[in-house]
Structure 1
Amino acid sequence: AAAFGFVVGISFPVVITPKLQYGGMMPWSSSSGAANSSFLDMSILGRLWPPSSPNLTNSAFAEVATARNPEEGAERRLPPGIVVSETDLHLRRLWGSPTQDSATRKYLLALAVGYDEKANVDATIQKFSDNFDIVLFHYDGRTTEWDEVFEWSKEVAHVSARKQTKWWFAKRFLHPSIVAPYDYIFLWDEDLGVENFTAEAYLDIVRKHGLEISQPGLDATNGTTNYDITIKRNDSEIHKTDAARESCRDVHKPPCSGFVEVMAPVFSRDAWRCVWHMIQNDFVHAWGLDSNIWRCVHDPEEQIGIVDAQYLVHHAVPTLQGQGEKEKEGGRSEVRARQFEEMRAFRSRVSDADDELFCKLTKKGSG
């Protein structure tokens, strides 16, 4: 058989056209060849890739082949109709017709989790309907155990990377093109009490009040709070400002308005596209991000708010900090030191970016 193959190979040598991409000879080449070269180009194309449709003549094929995708990037080499620039986190079957797969859900819940908090994570999952796709970001490397305890675990996406934060995962796995199908993205911690929360009812309120970025209020009587504005109020469905409190220095600035914390934010698709671009790739804790999310909506004082009618308890479990040992590298004190260092660096980068933009706009205006 080997000898026969060798004989066939030398008896019918393959003719390879040299320099096929030279001088504009391919339809996606950026070179502008002479008009009389188009016939030669399409002659080669016709031999290599004949028209797939019997109704497509050589001249029509030439016109289609030379059409360019207006989008920047290597995908411009493809006919626009085959380009798929967005995806999702919906699980699909290995069998059956793709046309009969279940549809991508309307919303997305993303949770950073460790197996030790499985009971609380399960309680949270139960508050989200079948309208949600779910992805779990595992920071402890334990993934398969979840399937053994929870049936729902077999129907959600799992991403694992040891000792990484929610924002590290979000930057890498929640790119706007990945979450594009979802109207809202819940990016939550694992240590939230959800006894007084239901996701669908929450979104009804968010839509009613036109909130692009939001979070559930926090019960100050049970759990921890860091900012007065996030504390649940008993006399309102939502609130957008903390103007009534003495601690509020400027009602028009965070954290008095246009502010949510990073532990349980909810973003519209459009707002998340902006926020994702503000997450720094080399930072993992996102400290300082909450004071700048106002940049990602048109009217921060109206489009960012706290939902009081659906509220949470923040248990403040020191998960990632607790994984380290005090006397070893990566312990709690060193994690906290990095959080503060990142916050200072982020503020500096934002300030520098603002200054740079201001200078450009000033020069443009004076020119």
Structure 2
Amino acid sequence: MRMNSNISSLNAAMAMETSIFPFTCMNSLFPSQQLWILGSRELIFSFQVELARHVPNPYSERIDPLFFCEQIFLNSIQDPLFTSETKYANLVSKPKESIKIYVPTNPRGAESLPPGIIESQSDLYLHGLRRNLTELVAKPKYLLVLTVGYLQKAIVDDIISKFSENFSFVLLHYDGKTSEWDEFEWSQRAIHVSIRRQTKWWYAKRFLHPDIIAPYEYIFLWDEDLGVENFNAEEYIKLARKYGLEISQPGLDPKNFLQWSMTERRDDVEVHKETVDRTGWCRDPHLPPCAGFVEIMAPVFSRESWRCVWHMIQNDLVHGWGLDLSLQRCVKPAHEKIGVVDAQWIEHKGVPSLGDQGKAIDGKAPWKGVRARCFAEWKEFDRRMWKAEQEHLNLTMH
């Protein structure tokens, strides 16, 4: 909308400290008549008084009369009771020199902002484009994150069927296929992130910052090749709370692809926190892999524990090998707050997935190259952890 006004008289009046001046704006939609845009001379008069009071002479050259006409007109349409006293501050900002804010307790880089405007955390809640601002959006309490390929769509659909509407869903697509998932009703309310041939832990470091997923009480960070016939997510969370588990995983069916005795499902307890078979495995029964340990295949993190674990994930060690043996650093005492939920258990299917993406190199199948990289990352992670510990110890000793 364009406005016309008696600019010269307006500028002249504005140059005076306390002048009261008449002026009108010409609405381009009504070219044949001049309008007192607030509806009465009294309201215009009020605006003129406030203009002189709030805009002293040194700043008069910064005022664009056309801008004032347009803004006052728009405000008057939205609120017939518009007065300069209540809304004038929206039209003119005070000079930057007159506002000095520095709050050292604000987040780094935001010290110049008033604390009341700062949003230091976010969420993954979905908002409608035309939703009323006062209308509540759905706010799930928990988060399920799956790294997926479209070939495993049936397994993924089964997994999600075990998670209620109390969960937000995030699908991390390593094969670049996203729209194909629209055949499933739940896909419309899921968040899809797609970067080809990237791993769960690569995604987690870049898209699951603790301040982004802060509203969620529990985060399920799962692979896609899991059988869930004997699993229910809501019942799982009840048991995690009951036994005080900050980091956990479902028990694993011992018939398929079992790597660690600690994660083997037991049928005589709801939860276990230590392994029975310690022969040759552990130097301390309260340390990994005999306690304080879950695998990186299907971990479940509390909000508090994830904040620590996220910082331990290395940017360039994308497979996460070695991370499972260090999870115990994030909760204390680990042998009480890390455990396996036996009453809600899963099956590791071991189907071809991300490890089979790509082409053979030097005659080796893709999965062999991936496996070699995993072992190399494990060794490197251990080296970095040892180095970091030594540096910290040396620092604290001086």
Whether TM exceeds 0.5 here: the answer is yes
Q: Tell me whether 299-308 or 314-323 shows the greater mean CA deviation.
A: 314-323
Count residues in correspondence: 322
1:107-157, Cα deviation, whole Å (9 max, x unpaired):
00000000000000000000001100110000000000000x201101110
Deviation per residue, 1:248-290 (Å, 9 max, x gap): 4331210000000000000000100000000000111010000
Residue 107 of structure 1 corresponds to 142
Question: Using the alignment, how far apart are the partners of 1:344 and 1:65 within structure 2?
Answer: 54
Separation (CA, whole Å) in 1 of partners of 2:172 and 2:230: 24
Asked if the contact 1:324/1:330 (under 8 Å) is kept, the reply is no
Q: Give the Cα–Cα distance (whole angstroms) in 2 for the partners of residues 52 and 112 of structure 1.
A: 55
| Alpha-carbon contact 2:147-2:174 (below 8 Å) kept | yes
Between structure 1 and structure 2, the one with the greater Rg is 2
Q: Specify whether residues 225 and 172 from structure 1 end up closer, same or farther in structure 2 by C-alpha distance, changes over 3 A only.
A: same
Q: CA deviation at 1:52?
A: 8.7
Give 3-state SS (helix, strand or coil) of 2:111's partner. Answer: helix
Deviation at 1:72, TM superposition (A): 3.9
What's 1:162 paired with? 196
Paired position in structure 2 for 1:295 = 329
Paired residue secondary structure (2:268): coil
Question: Does residue 260 of structure 2 align to residue 227 of structure 1?
Answer: yes
**1:208 matches 2:242:** yes
In 2, Cα distance between equivalents of 1:90 and 1:191: 27
Among 191, 209, 217, the alignment partner of 1:183 is 217
2:315 and 2:355 map into 1 onto residues whose CA distance is: 20
- Of structures 1 and 2, the one scoring higher in RCO (CA 8 A, sep 6+) is 1
**Alpha-carbon separation, structure 2, partners of 1:134 and 1:265:** 16
Moved more, 327-336 or 227-236: 327-336
**CA distance in structure 1 between the partners assigned to 2:277 and 2:86 by the alignment:** 70
Question: For 1:323, which of 341, 349, 357 is the aligned residue?
Answer: 357
* Distance of aligned partners of 1:140 and 1:62 in 2 relative to their CA distance in 1, 3 Å threshold: closer
Residue 174 (structure 2) aligned to one of 139, 142, 147: 139
Q: Quick one: which of 266, 270, 280 aligns to 1:237?
A: 270
1:3-82 matched pairs, under 5 angstroms: 65-69=99-103, 70-82=105-117
Give the alignment's TM-score, normalised by structure 2.
0.75
- 1:93 matches 2:128: yes
Q: Structure 1 length as normaliser, TM-score?
A: 0.81
Q: Is the 8 A contact 1:218 1:225 kept in 2?
A: yes
1:210-266 CA distance string (max 9 Å, x none): 100000000102x21110000000110100001444244331210000000000000
Q: Deviations over 1:8-49 (max 9, x none)?
A: 9xxx9xxxxxxxxxxxxxxxxxxxxxxxxxxxxxx769x78x
The answer to whether the Cα contact below 8 Å between 2:101 and 2:112 also exists between their aligned partners in 1 is: no
Cα-to-partner distance string for 1:273-329 (whole Å, 9 max, x where unaligned): 000000000111010000000000021010000000000001122311212333469
SS of residue paired to 1:274: helix
Matched residue type, 1:87: S
- Give the aligned partner of residue 32 of structure 1: none
For structure 1, the 5+ residue unaligned runs are 1-7, 13-42
Percent identity of the aligned residues?
51
Amino acid at match of 1:188: W
Structure 1 runs (4+) greater than 6 angstroms displaced: 60-64
Q: Is 1:337 equivalent to 2:372 in the alignment?
A: yes
Corresponding residue of 1:312: 346
Gaps of 5+ in 2: 1-6, 12-57, 64-83
Tell me how far 1:64 sits from its aligned partner: 9.9
Residue 334 of structure 2 aligns with an amino acid whose one-letter code is P
**2:294 partner amino acid:** V
Contact 2:101-2:113 within 8 A present in 1 as well: no
1:101, distance to aligned residue in structure 2 (A): 3.9
Which one-letter code corresponds to 1:102 in the other structure? Answer: V
**How many angstroms apart in 2 are the aligned matches of 1:336 and 1:121?**
24
